Structure 1
Amino acid sequence: MSLRDEFLRLLREDEEFRYAVMGLLGVADLRSDLKRLADALDKVLEVVRGLAEAEARHMDLTGQVFEITKQLAEGQRQVLEVVKGLAEGQARLMDAVRQLAEGQVRLMEGQARLMDAIKELAEGQRELAENQRGLMNMTRQVLETVQKLADVEARHLEITQRILEEIRALKEGQEELRKGQEELRVGLDNLSRKVDGLSRSYGGLSRNMGLLIEQNVRHYLPAWVREVLGVNVDRLRRRVIEGVGEFDGYAEAGNKVVVAEVKETLRLRDVESFLEKINKLRQTMASKEVIAIIAHVFRGRDYTKAIELAKANNVKVVRHIGEEDFEEIV
C-alpha cells in the first residue's frame, strides 16, 4: 500500500486523524465560517419566512384594498347616477319654476282683467240703482194698468158666471137643452175669444209698459224745455217729416224748432239713429235753430258711448226721474 492510499484510509477511518489534518490545513476555521454562514442563512431564512408572511398579509390587504376599491367604484357609480338624477330633477325644477313664473304673469293679467270687470260691475250697479229708482217711479203706472186688466178680468168672470147660470137653466129639460145648444156654443166662442184677448193683453204688458213710459216722458218734457231752455212750447207732438223721418216730439217756437227722441232705455244705436234725422232736419231747416233732445229713463249697456256721441253733436240728453223732474246729463 502506498503512502497516498494509507493517508486516504486514515482520513476515512480515523476521525481524530481527520480533524488533525483539518487543523493543519486550516479546515477548522472553515468549519467555523461555515457554521456562521449557516447561522446567517438561518437568519436569512427566518427573514425570508417573515417576508413571505408579510407578503401573504400584503396580498390579503391588497385583496381587501381591491375589494374596497371595487366597492368605492360601485359607490361612485351610484353617486354619479344620483347626481344625474339630481341634474334631471333640477332641470324639471327649472321648468316648473318657469311655468310658475308664466302662471304668475297670467295671474297678474287675470287680476287686471278682474279689476276692470269689478269697475264695470260697480258702474253697472250704480246704473242699476238709478234704473231701480226710475222703475219705482213707474210702478204706479204699472199698478194702474194692472188694475185695468183686473177690471177686464172681473167683467170676464161676470160673463162666465152668466154662462154657468145659463148652463144650469139648460139642465132643467132635455128639450130646452137642445134649444140652448147653439146659444151655449156661441157663448163659449165669445168666452174663448175674450180669454184669448186677455192673454194677449197680458203678453203685451211689457210692450205697453214701454209705451206708457214714453208717453209719460213726452207729457212732462215741455215743462222742462220751458223752464231750463227758455223755449215756450206747450206740447210736443209726434210728427213725420218727409225726407227726414219721424220724431217722437216736435214743436216750433219762433225761429226755433224743438225735436225730441223719447226712449225707455237709451243705447248707442238710438243716438246714432237720432243724429241721422237731426242732420237731415238741420239741412232742411237751415234758417232755424234746431234744438235736439233725447229723453230716457233707463241706461243701456253702452250708455257712456251714447252720451259721448250726443255731446259731440250738440244733442241734449236728459233722464226722467218722475213727473216734471228731469236730470240733465248733457
Structure 2
Amino acid sequence: MTPPPGPFDRNLLARRRARAAATVHRVAPLLDAAAHLLLDRLDDTTRQFDTALEVGGRGAVAPLLAARGIGFVVSSDLAPAMAARAGGVAVAADEEWLPFAAASFDLVVASLSLHMVNDLPGALLQIRRVLRPDGLFLATMPGFGTLQPLREALTAVESDLRGGAAPRVAPFATLQDAAGLLQRAGFALPVADLDRLDIAWRTPLGLLDDLRAAGEQAALVARDRRTPPRALFGAALARLAGAGGPIAAPLPLLVLTGWAPAPDQPKPARPGSATIRLADALGVEEQSGGETADPRRTRP
C-alpha cells in the first residue's frame, strides 16, 4: 500500500531548493549565525571526530567542520546544486532515506534542514543508523512560533477577503515534540533545548524575498492552488509594517543533541542506588514534607 502523503510536497521542495542554490548567498549571515550557534556545542565535548555528514547545510556548515579539523566531510541535500555549494564531497540525498552504509560517520549535523521532512522519526532513525557507536548528532530546527507575525497577518487578511484562510506558513515542532522524537529514535543521552536568533527586516517585502532566496516558501501538500486574492499579500505586508520601523521576526531554534548508543557510555543510575542523602550533598538540613525552609538554618 502507498503510504498517505505527509504535510509537505517534497518534489516541490526539491525544485525550490535547486532554484535557491543561486540565491541562498543572500541569507548567508542568518545561515552562518545558525551554524555557529549549533557547532559551538562541539566545544562541550572532548570527543574527536574524523568523518562528518552535514544534512542540508546549504554551504554554511561544511567549511566550519573542516576548519575544526574534521578531515572528511560529506554534504547532502535534496537538490544536487545545493549540496555542491559546500565545495567538497556532495551527495544528492533525501533525509528520509540516506544512501550511506551503517556506521559511516562520527558526526552528523543538520542545521535548519529537517523542518520540512514528512517522516521525521524515520529521518532520525536514518541518521542514527549512519552514525558509528558513540557518534554525535547535532541539529537545529525552527521551532513553534517561527514566522508567527507573517502567519497572523496572512490569516487575518485572507479571512477578511474570503471568509477563511488557507495554510500558507509551514507548521513547526515544539520543544516537547523534539525531545520525544530523539528518545523514540533511540539516541543515547538525548537533549533538546531552545535557543533563539533575533532577526529583523527593514521591510516586510525583504522578509518574503529572503524566504524565497533560501527556498523556504511553505511547500504544503494542502496549499491553496487557486490564485490568491489580488489584495492578499499587499494588505498582509501593510499589516506587518504597522506603524513603520523594522519587522521583528525572532527565530526560535530547537537544538537537538543525541549520541549513537555504545557499550561504554555513561548510564543513568539505578533508582534507589544513591549512597549519600541529597541534603548532605547540598549542605542543608533536611526538611520534612510541608515544612518551610529557613535560610538561617542552612549550613555554610
TM-score, length of structure 1 as denominator length: 0.25
Higher helix fraction (1 or 2):
1
Q: Higher RCO, 1 or 2 (CA under 8 Å, sep at least 6)? A: 2
Higher normalized strand content (fraction of residues): 2
